[in-house]
């Protein structure tokens, strides 16, 4: 069963990718989509069986893989509760993304390649989450990196897409270098790469030390931090996050697949899978907590001012991943996985909903050219409304709440209940980030679906119609401070600063086709009910221990403490959410002049946030420009100036010069040849006498 789930996407990718010319576009799409829906249908019973306690963890060996000295690796597929959760998340979202792409990519001439890449990505992610050893996990880890590179750069004729794909690949290589060092160190210490064997032996290494970079440090701290560097790269944590927003250059279905449920959650999955290792090192857990909290706050602040609808959701993803990591950092691994589970549904819904908006607006992504769309695309509006209610955490305790109400609030309560200094910091950051999340999420809704239309007759839209795959730079539309006014289009395109762009160009937004709307409907159900239905098995003090038994380090004491925190702690996230909503309502519906005034008053802070805390500029100064300068120096002085000069070019010039000389000697006169012969004879005689 598990082998079929894992290898069906690979088979579909091979058929669609290699056989597209023989079978055509429609069969390629049909095979890949059917393969994913079949894998999804087989995954849900496994998950439900673990929920009901009728399934036990087991391992299925596919084939022997590596035999080299002490290194013994079998290609095995591990099935436990943690795997079951990831199976339904990956296959469900991937299947819906495949179906959604039938509508979204219908005009693309290279659809079979796109669907083959989607299925290949899904296979690599399934290999990652079913791995029973670190080598197999690394195979899946690198596989999703390769597939994401192919998907982000799918429109390879677009320079910005190529640049974004390369950026994602390079940044992830930095994280993967740390991950590979962690795997090497783990094998050195434990003598095996088998995950069950490592986790069983980890507690016995508490207090031991290992030599690293010239000193001796706690063994488990070193190993866990190296592994966590890999998680930071894949899950876009602060410092290695810069690839995530640029990955929006890929088609919107790619954004939903990569940033909602699969690749970016690989780091969270890895930390939870290896949680018994992290439990041995309080230092490593503290680092995980602080990094996650910093990421949640950073991404939420940047999301406040973005104008590209996909980038707002991308920074939201980065922020929510921070929540998952600081939950894991305080030991609430069940809550981290619960938020991963619910986040997959509402974030995929928001991304695909944004894709539906972009499709309706002829691939325009700038929210400043939206407005009043709820009447034109009502199905998309209500789907995104459900996603917004889920991510902001709307709900009433003991009654009903949307998905994020249960998972995000559980994380905030767990950080408070942890009682550590890092936990208290994470609690404060979590509440503040909840307020910011609510603000930028409702800002997106109000700018897109409410107010007066800012799109009719827009010169910007007409340009976008001719460039269906265009991505418009956030800083290319006039004064950013003036552009922030929700009631006004950017001043580069209107007659005056207070005039709403309207016209009679005959352009009308339209609802998406049914292949795009059906996934929105299914994901809406997940965004509404996933938290309510599944919160007890994931984070219940009793049921959670049974569900997660043997798959991660479930802290029953923390879960009990989490449910017993003071009432004000339980209400803090809800109050923050309400404040964020009211601020967004006030600024983008009631008095739309406020954003421009705030941006003008705090222009330095606004520029700081608009430029993403200047991380890209800092990295360009520290790494990119020196790397290019070094490359140019090696190219000009090393390659051209030395290797080419004294190598192929030098030898060629020597041959040319020798040819010129010998040509002059071939004069045709007898005395010339006699002189040469005489000189040669004299030289030979001199050499003989010298000898």
pLDDT tens digits, 406-427? 999 999 999 999 989 999 999 9
**Residue whose structure tokens are 């940047």:** 302
Higher pLDDT, 327 or 482: 327
Q: What does pTM read for this prediction?
A: 0.87
Higher pLDDT, 57 or 470: 57
Residues 440, 296 contacting (CB under 8 angstroms): no
Strands (E), 390-549: 395-396, 400-401
Query: Mean of the pLDDT values across residues 257-282?
Result: 88
- Residue 370: left (phi > 0), alpha (psi -120 to 50), or beta? beta
Which pLDDT belongs to residue 676?
83
Residue 667 above 90 pLDDT? no
Give the 3-state secondary structure of 458-473: CHHHHHHHHCCCCCCC
CA 615 to chain centre: 17
Q: How confident is the model at residue 325 (pLDDT cuts 50, 70, 90)?
A: very high
Percent of all residues in the chain with a pLDDT value above 90, rounded to a whole number: 59
Q: What is the pLDDT of residues 166-194, one digit of tens each?
A: 998 999 999 999 999 999 999 999 999 99
Mean pLDDT of the chain: 87
- The rounded distance, in Å, linking the Cα atoms of 609 and 124 is 35
Which pLDDT belongs to residue 463?
46
Tokens representing residue 180 in the block: 């590979």
CB count within 10 Å of CB 129 equals 25
**Residue whose structure tokens are 């700018």:** 447
- The rounded distance, in Å, linking the Cα atoms of 272 and 278 is 9
- The rounded distance, in Å, linking the Cα atoms of 673 and 254 is 77
Which pLDDT belongs to residue 475?
35
Query: Mean of the pLDDT values across residues 434-439?
Result: 96
Which pLDDT belongs to residue 480?
37
Residue 457 above 70 pLDDT? no
- What's the alpha-carbon Rg for the chain, to the nearest Å? 30
CA distance readout (Å), 675 to 172, 631, 661:
71, 53, 16
Q: How confident is the model at residue 260 (pLDDT cuts 50, 70, 90)?
A: low
Which pLDDT belongs to residue 456?
61
Q: What is the pLDDT of residues 202-231, one digit of tens each?
A: 999 998 999 888 889 999 999 999 999 999
Q: Enumerate the β-bridge partners of residue 395.
A: 401
Query: Mean of the pLDDT values across residues 346-374?
Result: 91
Percent of all residues in the chain with a pLDDT value above 70, rounded to a whole number: 92
Which pLDDT belongs to residue 664?
74
Q: What is the pLDDT of residues 30-81, one digit of tens each?
A: 999 999 999 999 999 999 999 888 888 899 999 988 888 888 899 999 999 9
**Per-position DSSP letters for 520-558, written without gaps between them:** HHHHHHHHHHHHHHHHHHHH-TTHHHHHHTTTS---HHH
Higher pLDDT, 475 or 445: 445
Tokens representing residue 251 in the block: 């088609």
CA distance readout (Å), 4 to 1, 45, 77, 83, 126:
5, 14, 11, 15, 11
Q: How confident is the model at residue 124 (pLDDT cuts 50, 70, 90)?
A: very high
Q: Let me know if 432 is exposed, middle or buried by CB neighbors in 10 A (0-12, 13-18, 19+).
A: middle
CB count within 10 Å of CB 565 equals 17
| Burial state string for 326-343 with b = 16 or more CB within 10 A and e = fewer than 16 | bbbbbbbbbbbbbbbbbb
Tokens representing residue 141 in the block: 């880890």
Residue 369 above 80 pLDDT? yes
CA nearest neighbour of 268 among 338, 198, 193, 199:
338
Which pLDDT belongs to residue 261?
60
């Amino acid at each position: 069963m598990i082998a079929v789930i894992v290898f069906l996407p690979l088979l579909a990718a091979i058929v669609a990718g290699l056989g597209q010319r023989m079978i055509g576009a429609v069969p390629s799409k049909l095979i890949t989509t059917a393969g994913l829906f079949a894998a999804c249908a087989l995954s849900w019973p496994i998950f439900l069986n673990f929920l009901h306690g009728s399934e036990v963890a087991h391992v299925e060996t596919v084939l022997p893989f590596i035999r080299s000295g002490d290194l013994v690796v079998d290609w095995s597929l591990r099935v436990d509760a943690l795997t079951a959760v990831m199976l339904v998340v990956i296959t469900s979202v991937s299947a819906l993304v495949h179906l959604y792409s039938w509508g979204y990519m219908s005009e693309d001439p290279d659809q079979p390649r796109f669907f083959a890449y989607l299925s290949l990505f899904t296979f690599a992610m399934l290999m990652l989450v079913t791995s029973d050893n670190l080598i197999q996990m690394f195979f899946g880890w690198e596989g999703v990196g390769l597939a994401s590179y192919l998907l982000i750069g799918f429109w390879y004729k677009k320079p910005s897409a190529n640049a974004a794909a390369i950026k994602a690949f390079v940044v992830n290589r930095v994280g993967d270098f740390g991950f590979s060092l962690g795997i090497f160190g783990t094998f050195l210490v434990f003598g095996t790469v088998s995950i069950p064997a490592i986790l069983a032996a980890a507690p016995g290494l508490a207090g031991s030390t290992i030599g690293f970079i010239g000193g001796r440090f706690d063994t488990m701290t070193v190993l866990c931090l190296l592994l966590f560097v890999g998680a930071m790269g894949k899950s876009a944590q602060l410092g290695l996050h810069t690839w995530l927003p640029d990955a929006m250059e890929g088609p919107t279905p790619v954004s939903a697949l990569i940033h909602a449920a699969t690749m970016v959650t690989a780091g969270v999955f890895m930390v939870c899978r290896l949680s018994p290792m992290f439990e041995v090192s309080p230092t490593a857990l503290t680092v995980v907590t602080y990094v996650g909290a910093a990421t949640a706050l950073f991404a939420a602040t940047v999301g406040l001012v973005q104008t590209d609808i996909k980038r707002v959701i991308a920074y939201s993803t980065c922020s929510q991943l921070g929540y998952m990591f600081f939950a894991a950092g305080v030991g609430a691994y069940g809550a981290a996985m619960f938020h991963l589970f619910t986040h997959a549904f509402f974030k995929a819904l928001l991304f695909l909903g944004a894709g539906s908006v972009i499709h309706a607006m002829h691939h325009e992504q700038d929210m400043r050219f939206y407005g009043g769309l709820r009447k034109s695309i009502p199905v998309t509006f209500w789907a995104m409304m459900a996603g917004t209610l889920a991510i902001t955490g709307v709900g009433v305790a003991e009654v009903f709440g949307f998905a994020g109400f249960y998972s995000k609030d559980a994380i905030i309560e767990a950080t408070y209940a942890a009682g550590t200094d890092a936990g208290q910091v994470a609690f404060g950051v979590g509440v503040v980030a909840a307020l910011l999340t609510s603000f930028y999420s409702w800002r997106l809704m109000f700018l897109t679906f409410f107010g007066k239309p800012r799109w009719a007759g827009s010169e910007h839209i007409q340009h976008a119609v001719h460039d269906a795959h265009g991505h418009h730079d956030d800083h290319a539309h006039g004064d950013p401070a003036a552009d922030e006014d929700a009631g006004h289009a950017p001043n580069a395109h209107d007659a005056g600063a207070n005039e709403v762009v309207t016209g009679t160009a005959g352009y009308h937004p339209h609802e998406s086709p049914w292949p795009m709307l059906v996934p929105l409907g299914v994901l809406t159900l997940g965004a509404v009910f996933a938290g309510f239905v599944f919160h007890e098995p994931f984070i219940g003090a009793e049921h959670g221990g049974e569900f997660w038994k043997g798959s991660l380090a479930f802290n029953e004491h923390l879960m009990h403490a989490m449910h017993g925190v003071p009432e004000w702690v339980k209400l803090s996230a809800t109050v923050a959410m309400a404040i964020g909503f009211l601020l967004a309502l006030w600024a983008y519906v009631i008095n739309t002049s406020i954003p421009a005034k705030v941006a003008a008053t705090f222009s330095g802070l606004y520029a700081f946030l608009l430029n993403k805390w200047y991380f890209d500029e800092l990295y360009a100064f520290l790494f990119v420009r020196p790397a290019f300068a070094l490359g140019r120096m090696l190219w000009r002085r090393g390659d051209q100036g030395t290797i080419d000069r004294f190598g192929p070019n030098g030898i060629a010039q020597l041959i040319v010069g020798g040819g010129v000389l010998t040509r002059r000697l071939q004069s045709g006169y007898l005395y010339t040849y006699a002189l040469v012969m005489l000189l040669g004879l004299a030289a030979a005689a001199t050499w003989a006498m010298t000898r």
